[in-house]
């Protein structure tokens, strides 16, 4: 049996995948918001554990995690605009902290372990979620920043999960085209996300190739 302490990033990745699969099911459930908040709390805790931060960084991680968890719980029951904005900012800040820690963990030595591979996958997914919070904040502050094809959006609303989905398509450069950034600021964020996704893949692939060459030599 695999222990969480040995491969913390594997359990983080599994939790992120579970969140993607569970959200459509829990969103329509009567107590779904509370359940989703609990899943988010689990992911935040696993992310901090997987970040492998030490000393001052660990304290900073808790400083960022507490408001992210608190605001996430509040908006599950009181979805006010001010609380949503605060929650998006707190979540984006914490996810960015974890992303930086995981990136350093991946690049810190010349050996790519199994946990580091899971860390790279988790980092990629976390990047999509981090940008989702930014995109959601843009739409909340400037409604209409994103347009969804009416055939794919019968209720004519841009929801949180729509922007999560859009964030993943931008990061992976898939771009199905049913969701379009309309405002200039929304397009700026999308361009930064697209560049980040391409650069991350380039960094990981070049690192794997360089390590393989070093082992052969």
The CATH number linked to 12 is 1.10.287.70
d(CA 112, CA 107): 9
Structural domain boundaries enclosing 145: 8-216
Please indicate whether residue 85 or residue 3 has the higher confidence score (pLDDT): 85
Establish if 126 belongs to a structural domain: yes
- Ranking 52-56, 103-107, 132-136, 155-159 by mean pLDDT, the lowest is 52-56
Q: Residue 137 corresponds to which tokens in the numbers above?
A: 């904040």
147 beta partners:
180
Yes or no: say if 133 and 88 are a contact pair by the CB < 8 Å rule. Answer: yes
Task: Tell whether the model's pLDDT for residue 170 goes beyond 70.
Answer: yes
pLDDT of residue 1: 45
Report the percentage of the chain scoring pLDDT > 70: 89
Establish if 110 belongs to a structural domain: yes
Establish if 1 belongs to a structural domain: no
Task: Tell whether the model's pLDDT for residue 4 goes beyond 60.
Answer: no
Establish if 45 belongs to a structural domain: yes
pLDDT of residue 145: 95
Q: Which residues of 44-78 are buried (b: 16+ CB within 10 A; e: fewer)?
A: bebbbbbbbbeeeeeeebeebbebbbebbbbbbee
pTM of the complete model: 0.88
Establish if 167 belongs to a structural domain: yes
Establish if 157 belongs to a structural domain: yes
Task: Tell whether the model's pLDDT for residue 127 goes beyond 90.
Answer: yes
Task: Tell whether the model's pLDDT for residue 56 goes beyond 90.
Answer: no
How high is the mean pLDDT of the chain?
Answer: 85
**What is the number of domains present in the chain?**
1
Report the percentage of the chain scoring pLDDT > 90: 39
Establish if 2 belongs to a structural domain: no
Establish if 33 belongs to a structural domain: yes
Task: Tell whether the model's pLDDT for residue 79 goes beyond 90.
Answer: no
């Amino acid at each position: 049996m695999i222990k969480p302490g040995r491969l913390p990033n594997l359990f983080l990745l599994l939790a992120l995948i579970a969140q993607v699969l569970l959200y459509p099911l829990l969103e329509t459930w009567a107590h779904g918001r509370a359940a989703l908040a609990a899943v988010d709390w689990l992911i935040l805790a696993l992310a901090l554990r997987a970040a492998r931060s030490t000393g001052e960084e660990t304290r900073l991680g808790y400083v960022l995690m507490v408001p992210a968890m608190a605001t996430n719980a509040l908006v599950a029951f009181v979805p006010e605009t001010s609380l949503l904005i605060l929650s998006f900012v707190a979540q984006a800040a914490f996810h960015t902290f974890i992303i930086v820690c995981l990136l350093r963990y991946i690049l810190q030595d010349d050996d790519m372990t199994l946990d580091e591979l899971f860390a790279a996958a988790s980092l990629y997914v976390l990047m999509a979620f981090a940008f989702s919070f930014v995109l959601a904040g843009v739409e909340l502050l400037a409604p209409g920043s994103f347009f969804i094809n009416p055939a794919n959006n019968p209720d004519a609303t841009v929801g949180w999960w729509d922007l999560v989905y859009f964030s993943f398509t931008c990061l992976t450069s898939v771009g199905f085209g049913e969701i379009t950034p309309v405002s200039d600021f929304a397009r700026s964020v999308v361009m930064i996300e697209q560049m980040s996704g391409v650069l991350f893949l380039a960094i990981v692939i070049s690192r794997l190739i360089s390590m393989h060459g070093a082992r052969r030599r």
